[in-house]
Amino acid sequence: MIDVHCHILPGVDDGAFDLEDSAAMAAQAAEDGIDVVCATPHIRPDHLVRVADLPSRVTALQREVRRLGLNLRIAPGAEIAQETAAGLSDTELRHLSLGGGGWVLIEPAPGPLDDELFLLVGELAARSVHAIVAHPERHAGLNFEDRLRELTARGALIQWTADFVARAAVGDLVLECASVGLVHLLGSDAHSSRAGRPVRLAAGVAKLREVCSPAQVEWIAEEAPRAILDGAESLSPPW
């Protein structure tokens, strides 16, 4: 499995506190059966993340993961705020994409999904950059499913938080969305080994099996994230 959303880099944003915390998060991931974690620090005004420093930080963490004997790859990436993305250069967007493959994780503006997000997805596509919309469960509002469908129609993929999915009960929003094909990716959105969500996907994947076909779950958990890291030019849910 591939975790496409994780704040595992130490001392960068509101994620891992230090290298020890990052290593413990890596151990959580490996124990859960995750073989790639995308390091996705926040790119937004309240976190002064230096884009140029991220490759060396990923390399340093990968070195520590190998030293610990964990079979886990740390891939580069970022979680880019909706209001920040349009002002980034093409080069910056490419560097901040997941695995460098041209797919960027977008954090929607606070509140319900808005029209500006639709416009951003189209603007990024015109620049040969593909959008992944992060944690839509935090941005529900009127006509929520219709808005998710519109984002998908514009070429975006929708990434839900694995722990939120795992905790869902029959009839809950996310399972209804999964049953109609509006769950495309899972991410842990973990920030620390010491509190909050763990770096785990397996329980969320298991919950999806209750409402999705085996082929659909395979695409969400394996095929789509690997295609993203491989730099797929286009990627649409096969349903």
Domain coordinates of the chain in residue numbers? 2-229
Interval 100-159: pLDDT, tens: 999 999 999 999 999 999 999 999 999 999 999 999 999 999 999 999 999 999 999 999
| CATH top class, domain 2-229 | alpha beta
Nearest C-alpha neighbor of 76 from the set 17, 8, 128, 25: 8
pLDDT at 207 (0 to 100): 98
Q: Is 238's pLDDT higher than 90?
A: no
Rounded CA-CA distance 40/157 in Å is 16
Q: What single DSSP character describes residue 138?
A: G
Q: Which residues lie across from 2 on neighbouring strands?
A: 36
pLDDT at 36 (0 to 100): 98
Name the residue type at position 220. I
pLDDT band at 220 (very low <50, low <70, confident <90, very high): very high
pLDDT at 48 (0 to 100): 85
The whole-chain average pLDDT of the chain stands at 96
pLDDT at 234 (0 to 100): 84
Extract the tokens encoding 161.
Answer: 């938080």
Compute the Cα dihedral for 41, 90, 124, 34 and give only its sign. negative
| Percentage of residues of the chain with pLDDT beyond 90 | 95
Give me the mean pLDDT over the 76-96 stretch.
Answer: 97
pLDDT at 236 (0 to 100): 86
Q: Which residues of 54-73 are buried (b: 16+ CB within 10 A; e: fewer)?
A: beebbeebbebbeeeebebb
Q: Is 3's pLDDT higher than 90?
A: yes
Give me the mean pLDDT over the 192-210 stretch.
Answer: 97
Interval 14-59: pLDDT, tens: 999 999 999 999 999 999 999 999 999 999 999 889 999 999 999 9
What pTM was computed for the model?
0.96
Q: Which residue has the higher pLDDT, 64 or 235?
A: 64
Host H or E run for residue 218: helix 214-218
pLDDT at 47 (0 to 100): 87
| Percentage of residues of the chain with pLDDT beyond 70 | 100
| Cβ-Cβ contacts under 8 Å for 40 (sequence gap 6 or more) | 4, 5, 6, 7, 77, 78, 79, 98, 105, 187
Extract the tokens encoding 80.
Answer: 């880019």
Q: What count of other Cβ atoms lies within 10 Å of the Cβ of residue 85?
A: 25
